[in-house]
Amino acid sequence: MSSLRFDQVCFSYGNAPCVVQFSCNLARGELVGLIGANGSGKSTLLRLGAGLLTPTVGQVELDGKPVRSWKGEERATRLGYLPQSIEAPLPFRVGELVEMGRAAARKDHLLSCQEVLAAVGLEGHEQTPLSQISGGERRRAFIAMILAQGGKTLLLDEPLAGLDLRYQYELLTLLRSLCQTHNLTILLSLHDLILARNLDRLLVIRQGQLLADGLPTDILTQQLVQQTFDLDPRFLMAGIVG
């Protein structure tokens, strides 16, 4: 059974279509990338997957049931969603952030603060204020928070954005390890085509429609990249892409 399933999903903001007949199945243990140009519908798809938006047409299923039929704590213990940015000031320590995730977890599935921080490479930072760690470490702290919820499906909106190349690779390596060791399903949006080649699978979208779904090495052709990002063919001929 799929962890997360989109079945002919459509969504519009007013009269403006944003997602059009999108279908895919995500399985346990997969690290899947979602790529497309700005405004192509990536964030909207992740919010639909998290049950924060309701499809105009079609259905999103989490663990075999409509995602929005899982209420409150039930959904929180199955799915974690991390938006691209959190604007509110967060005057918390790392351990306090993790405890917020543990508060939503089922009591029989609680992981300790130390366990999830060790999983993301932040052991020993329980008392460190979020304001005193790097951007990459802060992303890890938020991933620790949603891991503490106990969900097996994670939806991450641009988790690599704004990080130095080293931290991008470190975080991507961490996510792959979490998929393998905890049998998670992780769907993340990203822009970097080089990093995208390191994922298990890619979903490529344009104007809310699925253009390709498969292994990065199979589908990241020059023609697809040109179509996805409306690139001038001269850039491809110059070797900037592909």
DSSP lists the bridge partners of residue 10 as 57
- Give the pLDDT score at 101: 86
- Give the pLDDT score at 237: 47
- Give the pLDDT score at 240: 44
Cβ-contact 174, 121 below 8 angstroms: yes
- Give the pLDDT score at 106: 67
Pairwise CA distance, residues 51 & 221, whole Å = 33
- Give the pLDDT score at 47: 97
* Structure tokens that stand for 89 in this block: 């000031």
Pairwise CA distance, residues 220 & 207, whole Å = 18
DSSP 43-70: HHHHHHHTTSS--SEEEEEETTEEGGGS
- Give the pLDDT score at 182: 86
DSSP 199-235: SSEEEEEETTEEEEEE-HHHH--HHHHHHHHT--HHH
Q: pTM value?
A: 0.89
How is domain 4-237 classified at the CATH fold level? Answer: Rossmann fold (3.40.50)
* Structure tokens that stand for 96 in this block: 């306090």
Task: Tell me the residue type at 178.
Answer: L
pLDDT means over runs of 10, the chain (242 residues): 89 91 95 94 96 96 94 86 75 91 72 85 92 85 87 91 82 89 93 90 95 93 85 58 50
- Give the pLDDT score at 57: 96
H or E stretch covering 143: helix 135-148
Question: Which residue shows structure tokens 């005057």?
Answer: 91
DSSP structural state of residue 158: S
